């Protein structure tokens, strides 16, 4: 375990690390699917929508497309997925409403209490690919006590592009090791470490459902490796 | 009084509207001045430092200089003011420390409670020319319960440039009238109204000390005009 006395701020991946997007999207999509595609499993639908996430951001990361916020990408991806399933002629307001599923995700059970503890000692903020309004809506609905909303929209780039991490370090006025990224994804942590950030892996072995095969454990010697965020709070001297 | 049912979010000017910068800077500068310029009045020093604020931002607003955050401008202005007073040969760390005076400002007595009330019904965020870390430090020290930190650094421009207001409307996914700017400065509100935002004036008649002559009252028919933020919370249906 790394000496943590130099850490001044913690930033968090959100989708998968703080919130359970799969259960939330499935729950929010259920009534829509009941109306438009009664045979379709809501978890399969959530997984299909989520599969479009990385490729759509890659258009921006590669420079082929200027930065647009995730709400826009999510909506485009939703239309693709609906078309794929043969769900057509859905009125725009209904698509807009379903797109807000991502604004109504529930946190993992440990998240709110642990963030409240960590906030007493550190600056805490999301470092998500989600846009600011999306992050604010999630936080207000369930009480995530962020000090600021950082991430893709503030940096105008998508993780794991290096400028998202370096711009965040700069905004917070820190040296890179003073900023710790907390994430359930080894690739996110690897990108942060490249820029000199401190890294903390939290296991979320059911983010992708019961048959998840990726990110089941730390794949490098991250500075902290924990089973949940309360364990991280303890290791950082913030336990209640 | 305007019908307020369409307002979804409130953004606030901070220096002067939420915090009392003059008393705070004077208090923070006192021990420095005791060491380096014992005859100099700390309020006069605060006023002199503050007089450099608008001209330094004008360099950015005019396009003569790319956006740099307020912490940088404040430090440059501090060096100018020290030179003006003949205070020279001060070590850099001592200047850096004094520059943090702006991170340790106290709120006006009504601010924290009123913001807590308003937060239950609205998204609340600063829309300040202060940079993100500066806003976070002020908020954490005294408990300002912001949902996000918006403003100059997110928009990469300084108020009253129109893009600060329009970019904030866009980030929040709102129509302009759904966003209300709360400020103690008529010029800030005028710029916001140009972009279609709702406007609320709060009187802060001692922001510039006992002999203040500007912004003593609303100079246009702003949508809301109040004596403090608790009165605004009441008018917006958020009173305790």
Kindly report the CATH number assigned to the domain that includes residue A131: 3.40.50.1000
The answer as to whether A240 is a domain residue is no
Q: Are residues B76 and B133 in the same domain?
A: no
Q: Is the CB of residue B157 less than 8 Å from the CB of residue B67? A: yes
Assess if residue A117 is contained within a domain: yes
Checking if the pLDDT of B1 tops 60, the result is no
Q: Pairing between strand A9-12 and A123-128? A: parallel
- Identify the closest residue of chain B to A69 by CA–CA distance: B171
**pLDDT at residue B14 tops 70:** yes
pLDDT of A122 above 80: yes
Residue of A nearest to B143 (CA): A147
Q: Which CATH number covers residue B29? A: 1.10.150.240
For chain A, the residues whose C-beta falls within 8 A of a C-beta of chain B are 71, 123, 131-133, 135-136, 139-140, 146-150, 153-154, 171-173
Confirm whether B231 is domain-assigned: yes
What's residue B5's pLDDT? 80
Task: Evaluate whether residue B240 is within a structural domain.
Answer: no
Q: Specify the DSSP class assigned to residue A219.
A: S
Are residues A28 and A14 located together in one domain of the fold?
no
- Residues whose CB is less than 8 angstroms from the CB of residue A198 and which lie 6 or more positions away in sequence, other chains included: A2, A4, A6, A7, A177, A178, A179, A180, A181, A223, A224
Does B3 score more than 70 pLDDT?
no
Contacts of A133 in chain B (CB under 8 A): 171-173
Q: Report the C-alpha gap between A172 and A165 in whole angstroms.
A: 11
Q: Give how far Cα B6 sits from Cα of B47, B64, B151, Å.
A: 39, 38, 22
3-state secondary structure of B107: strand
Task: Please check whether residues B149 and B65 belong to one and the same domain.
Answer: no
Whether residue A37 sits in one domain with residue A91: yes
Strand partners, B181: B11, B199
d(CA B68, CA B90): 24
Closest chain A C-alpha to B160 CA, distance in angstroms? 20
Whether residues A28 and A110 share a domain: the answer is no
**Closest chain A residue by Cα to residue B172:** A133
Q: Do B81 and B169 share a domain, yes or no?
A: no
My answer on whether A37 and A120 are in the same domain is no
**Which residues of B have a CB under 8 Å from any CB of A?**
71, 123, 131-133, 135-136, 139-140, 146-150, 153-154, 171-173
**Cβ–Cβ gap A147/B139 under 8 Å:** yes
Q: d(Cα A209, Cα A218) in Å, to the nearest integer? A: 18
The reply to whether A2 falls in a domain is: no
- Hey, what are A20's tokens? 């359970």
Are A55 and A114 found together in one domain? no
Residue B211 to residue B109: CA distance in whole angstroms: 20
Q: How many domains does chain A have?
A: 2
Tell me the nearest-neighbour CA distance from B115 into chain A, angstroms: 14
Both B120 and B138 in one domain: the answer is: yes
pLDDT > 90 fraction of chain B, expressed in percent and rounded: 97
A178/A6 Cα distance (integer angstroms): 5
Find tokens 């600060």 and name the residue.
B164
Look at residues B42, B75, B104 and tell me which one is the last residue of a structural domain. B104
A110 and A127: one domain? Answer: yes
In angstroms, the CA B61 to CA A146 distance is 30
Cross-chain residue pair B132–A150, CB shorter than 8 Å: yes
Residue A116: the pLDDT is 98
Q: Residue B164 sits in which domain range?
A: 9-20+105-235
Helix (H) / strand (E) containing B98: helix B92-99
Mean pLDDT of chain B: 96
| B184-211 per-position pLDDT tens digit | 999 999 999 999 999 999 999 999 999 9
Chain B CB contacts of A153 under 8 Å are 171
Please name the residue of chain A whose CA is at the shortest distance from the CA of residue B154: A154
Q: Do B100 and B145 belong to one domain? A: no
Q: How confident is the model at residue B223 (pLDDT cuts 50, 70, 90)?
A: very high
Compute the average pLDDT of residues A79-83: 98
Contact call for residues A189 and A203 (beta carbons, < 8 A): no
- pLDDT over 70 percentage in chain A: 98
Cβ contact, residue pair A148, B132, below 8 Å: yes
What stretch of H or E contains B150? Answer: strand B150-151
Q: Left (φ > 0), alpha (ψ -120 to 50) or beta: where does B16 sit? A: left
One domain for residues A96 and A148: no
In whole angstroms, give the CA distance from residue A192 to residue B70. 27
Domain boundary among B104, B121, B136: B104
Residue B1 lies in a domain: no
Which chain A residue's Cα is nearest to B156? A154
C-alpha separations of B31 from A111, B10, B25, B26 in Å = 42, 37, 11, 10
Distance (Å, whole) CA A156 – CA A70:
11
As a whole number, mean pLDDT of residues B84-98 equals 96
> Best residue in A75, A128, A148, A153 to probe B by mutation, most B CBs within 10 Å?
A148
- Candidates B147, B150, B172; nearest CB to A140: B147
Q: Structure tokens of A46? A: 């959530």
User: pLDDT tens for residues A165-203?
Assistant: 999 999 999 999 999 999 999 999 999 999 999 999 999
Query: What is the pLDDT, as a whole number, of residue A105?
Result: 98
Q: Answer whether residue B129 is part of any domain.
A: yes
Considering only CB atoms, A154 lies closest to which of B146, B154, B172, namely B154
Q: Test A133 with B171 for CB contact under 8 angstroms.
A: yes
Residue B149: list chain A partners with CB under 8 A. 147-149
Residue B95 located in a structural domain: yes
Burial of B83 (0-12, 13-18, 19+ CB in 10 A): exposed
* Domain end among A103, A120, A136: A103
């Amino acid at each position: 375990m790394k000496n943590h006395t130099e850490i001044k701020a913690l930033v968090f991946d959100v989708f998968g690390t703080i919130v359970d997007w799969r259960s939330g999207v499935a729950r929010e999509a259920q009534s829509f699917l009941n109306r438009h595609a009664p045979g379709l499993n809501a978890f399969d639908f959530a997984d299909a929508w989520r599969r479009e996430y990385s490729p759509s951001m890659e258009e921006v990361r590669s420079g082929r497309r200027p930065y647009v916020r995730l709400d826009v990408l999510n909506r485009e991806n939703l239309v693709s997925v609906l078309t794929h399933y043969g769900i057509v002629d859905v009125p725009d307001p209904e698509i807009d409403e379903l797109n807000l599923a991502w604004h109504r995700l529930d946190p993992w059970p440990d998240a709110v209490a642990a963030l409240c503890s960590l906030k007493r000692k550190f600056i805490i903020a999301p470092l998500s690919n989600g846009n600011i309004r999306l992050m604010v809506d999630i936080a207000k609905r369930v009480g995530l006590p962020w000090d600021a909303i950082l991430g893709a929209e503030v940096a105008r780039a998508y993780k794991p592009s290096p400028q998202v991490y370096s711009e965040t370090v700069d905004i917070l006025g820190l040296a890179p090791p003073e900023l710790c990224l907390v994430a359930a994804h080894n690739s996110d942590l690897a990108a942060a470490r490249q820029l000199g950030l401190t890294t903390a892996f939290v296991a979320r072995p059911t983010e992708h459902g019961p048959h998840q095969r990726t990110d089941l454990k730390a794949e490098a010697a991250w500075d902290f490796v924990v089973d949940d965020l309360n364990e991280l709070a303890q290791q950082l001297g913030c336990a209640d």
